[in-house]
A and B are shown apart, each in its own frame.
Chain A
C-alpha cells in the first residue's frame, strides 16, 4: 500500500490518553545529544509540566512526542500504540495529539472560525455546531470572522487552544503557551486554560521555564536537565 493505515484508538480503551517514552535517545549530531535514555510516563487526564532552562531541549521533547522529529532509539507509545522507535515513525497527523505552538501558528489566511475548524475536515457531521461550541468555550463568539492579525495576544492564544481541542485529541502538547503574554493576562488566561482542559479531561504536557506557572497549573512537574528528566 502507498501509505500505512493506523487504527483509531477507542476512547473507552484503558490506554487512551496515555503517553509513554522509554529509553528515548535524540540527538542533532554525535555531539549534540538532546535526550539520553529518556523515560517518561504520563497517565490519562494528567496535566504535566516540563521545566527547564532555554535551549535545554523542552521544545524538542514536544516535537519528538508529536512526531515532528524522529528519535534515534527507544520507544514512544501514544494511547498504547507504538508511535516512534528507532525503526518506525508514525506521521504527526496520525498521532491524535493537539499542539499549541509558542507563537500559536494561527493560519493567517483563515479567520477564527476557519482556524478552529481546520482540523475537523469538511465532511464531518455538525461541523458548524461543533466549531461554534468551541468558540463559545474559548469565549470568542464576537470574533469568529476576524483574522489572526486583528486579534490581541490573549485572543490569539485562545484560538490556538480552541483549535487544538476542536479535534478532540487524546492529549494536548503546549509549548510555552503563555510566554508571549503580559503578566496580568498570563495569570488570567492560564487559569482559564486550566479550567477548559480540566473540563475536557484531556491529558496535557506543557513545557515552560516559569516554575510558579508550572506549580500552579500542573498535577506533576518535571525538570529536564542534561537530556534526562527528574521529578520536582
Chain B
C-alpha cells in the first residue's frame, strides 16, 4: 500500500484535504509568532521584571493547582475503589460534577461568598464572631477555585488506573518483606504515575489557559496580562509578544510530560484480580462518606446554591434581573456548529493518520494537536491578527469564531475518532469490499456507523467545551454578540450578580446532560460498584 500510495486516488484526496486543514490551523499561529518576534520591543518586553513576576505567579499557580488536584484525586480514588464506603457509585458521579462549572462562574461565587466583604464575613460579623476576614483574593483564592474545578481531570484517570491495577502487585511486595509505606512508594506510586501524569498535564494546561477565575480573583497571570494589553488597544502587538511566552510555557509543560513519559519504561497492568483486600472502614464508613462528599460540595454544590441564592434574592428584593433569551440560542447555535465543523475536519485527519501511516501523515496529525497546548486567548489573538491583515471580510464574524473553536478543540475530535479507528478490525472493511461495496460505500455503510459512538462522544465534549469557553469568545466574537459566557462575564464584571446568576445556571443546566453522558460512558463509572 505504501508503494502505491502516490497513485492511490483516495490517498491523494485525503492528503490534500488533511494538508489544507493543517495549514489553516497552523498558519495564523505561525503568523502570530513571526509578528511577535519581529516586534521591535520584543526582547525588551519579555525581559521586563514585571513579566518575570507574571511568569513566576503563573507557574506557581500551575504547580500548586496540579499538586492539590493530584492529592485530592488520590484520596477520593483510593476510598472510592479500595474501601467499603457506602453509596460509591453515587459519590463517584458527584465527584465528577465540578467539570460542568465554568471557572469564571466559580470565581464569581467565590468572591461573593468568601471575599473580604463577602456573605460569609457578613454572617459571621453580624453574630459578632469576627471583625476581619482573611483576604482570599490572589494566589490562594485562585488555587482553591481552580483545584476544586479541575481535580476531576485527574480523578477520572486515576480511579480507572486504581480499578485496573492488580492487587497482587501490592501483595507480592508485602510478601517480599516490604511494609505498607514502602509498598506504596515502590509499587503503588510507580504504577499509578502514568494516570497521575496524564491527568496532571490536563490540569496544568487548564490552569495555564484559565482567564475567568484568575481575573475575578485578581491574580495576575499571563492570560490576565494578555487580555489587559489587548483591551488596552494601544499596542496590541505587545499582547501577541506576551502570548508567545504563554505558548513557550505550554510547550514546556508538554515537553516535561514527554520527558517523564520517556524516562520511564512503558508498562501496563495486565490482568486485574478481585479486590479481596477492601479496606473495612467499619464505624468510620459514614465519616469517610461525608469527607468525600466535601469535594463535590465545594466544587459544585456551593456554586450552584450560590447562584440560586443570588437569583432568588434578586427576584425577592426586586433587583432588575436582565436576561436575554437569545443568548441561549446563540450559545447553542455556535456550540453545535463548532462541534459539527470540528468533527467534520477531524475525520480526514484521523483517517489519513491511521490508514496511511507515514512521516507526513504523522506531521499532519501533530499539527492538528496544536490547540491542545494552546490557551484559547492565544488562538483567538492569532486569528485576530491574521484576519485583520489577510482576510478582513471575515474579521469579527461568527465564521471566524467557529473556526477558532475548531482550532482549539480539533485535538479532541481527532483523538476521539483515532482511538476507535486504530482498534477497528480491518477485516470488516475488507469483507464489505469483498461483498461488492466500493471504498466510499464501505466508508459510509461500515466505517462511519462503527465510529458513531466516538463521533458522538467527541461532538458532545466539543459542545461542552465550546459552551463554557470564555477568552476565545471575548477576543473573536462579532460586535453585539451575546452568548451565555459573555453575558455572565459582562454582568459579573459589573457586579450585577443576580443578572449573572441566571445565564450561569442555564449554562450549567445545558452542560449537565452532556457531561453526565461523557462521565458515565467509556466505563469511567463501572457498574461493579
Contact = CB atoms under 8 A, between A and B. Distances in A.
A92 B171 contact: yes
Interface stretch (B237-245, B269-277, B507-515): B269-277
A192 B367 CA distance: 55
B172 A108 contact: no
Interface in B167-186: 168-169, 171-180, 186
B169 A105 contact: yes
Given A99-B171, A103-B166, A109-B191, A149 B267 contact: yes
A167 B177 contact: yes
Interface hub of B176, B265, B273 (most chain A Cβ within 10 A): B176
Contacts of B180: 91
Contacts of A118: 173, 176, 178, 186
B264 interface: yes
A179 to B, nearest CB: 13
B177 A93 contact: yes
A91 B180 CA distance: 9
Contact of B270 (A93, A94, A97, A108): A108
B268 interface: yes
A121 B179 CA distance: 12
Interface stretch (A63-71, A75-83, A134-142): A63-71
A38 interface: no
A147 B269 CA distance: 12
A99 B169 contact: no
B187 interface: yes
Dominant SS at the A interface?
A: loop
B388 to A, nearest CB: 52
B187 A107 contact: yes
Interface residues of A, number: 32
Contact of B265 (A3, A95, A103, A109): A109
Interface in B268-325: 268-271, 273, 276-277
B171 A119 contact: no
Contact of A119 (B177, B268, B270): B177
Given A105-B169, A147-B267, A99 B191 contact: no
Contacts of A158: none
A222 interface: no
B363 to A, nearest CB: 30
Given A91-B174, A93-B178, A167-B176, A101 B168 contact: yes
Listed residue (A105, A106, A149) with the most chain B CB atoms within 10 angstroms of its CB: A105
Contacts of A148: 267
A163 interface: yes
A52 interface: no
Nearest to A60: B276
A103 B269 CA distance: 11
B191 A163 contact: no
B172 A149 contact: no
Contacts of B268: 108, 149
A123 B187 CA distance: 18
Nearest to B277: A68
A99 B166 CA distance: 15
B86 interface: no
A43 to B, nearest CB: 22
Contacts of A3: 179
B175 A66 contact: yes
A98 interface: yes
Contacts of A164: 175-176
B61 to A, nearest CB: 31
Interface in A101-143: 101, 103, 105-109, 111, 118-119, 121
A96 B174 CA distance: 10
A68 B187 contact: no
Interface string B143-183: 00000000000000000000000101101111111111000
A93 B264 CA distance: 27
A105 B168 contact: yes
Contacts of A106: 172
Interface centre among A66, A67, A118 (most CB of B within 10 A): A118
Contacts of A107: 169, 172-173, 187, 191
B41 interface: no
B190 interface: yes
Contacts of B173: 107, 118
Nearest to A70: B280
Contacts of B277: 68
B190 A105 contact: no
Contact of A98 (B175, B273, B276): B175
Most B C-beta atoms less than 10 A away, residue of A99, A109, A148, A163: A109
Interface string B424-459: 000000000000000000000000000000000000
Contacts of B166: 103, 105
Interface string A48-91: 00000000000000010011110000000000000000000001
A147 B168 contact: no
A163 B171 CA distance: 13
Contact of A93 (B169, B175, B265, B273): B175
Which of B169, B175, B178 has the largest count of A CB atoms less than 10 A from its CB?
Answer: B175
Nearest to B189: A109
Contacts of A96: 177
Contact of A108 (B178, B186, B267, B276): B267
Contacts of A66: 175
Contact of B174 (A92, A103, A108, A163): A92
Nearest to B176: A119
A143 to B, nearest CB: 15
A20 to B, nearest CB: 19
A217 B270 CA distance: 29
Contacts of A108: 169, 191, 267-270
8 closest residue pairs by CB, A with B: A119-B176, A105-B168, A108-B267, A99-B175, A105-B172, A92-B174, A109-B190, A101-B168
Given A93-B179, A108-B270, A118-B178, 6 more contacts: A66-B175, A97-B175, A101-B172, A108-B191, A118-B176, A163-B172
Interface of B: 166, 168-169, 171-180, 186-187, 190-191, 264-265, 267-271, 273, 276-277
22 contacts: A63-B276, A67-B174, A68-B171, A68-B175, A68-B276, A93-B175, A98-B175, A101-B168, A103-B166, A105-B168, A105-B171, A107-B172, A107-B173, A107-B187, A109-B190, A109-B264, A109-B267, A119-B177, A121-B177, A147-B267, A148-B267, A164-B175
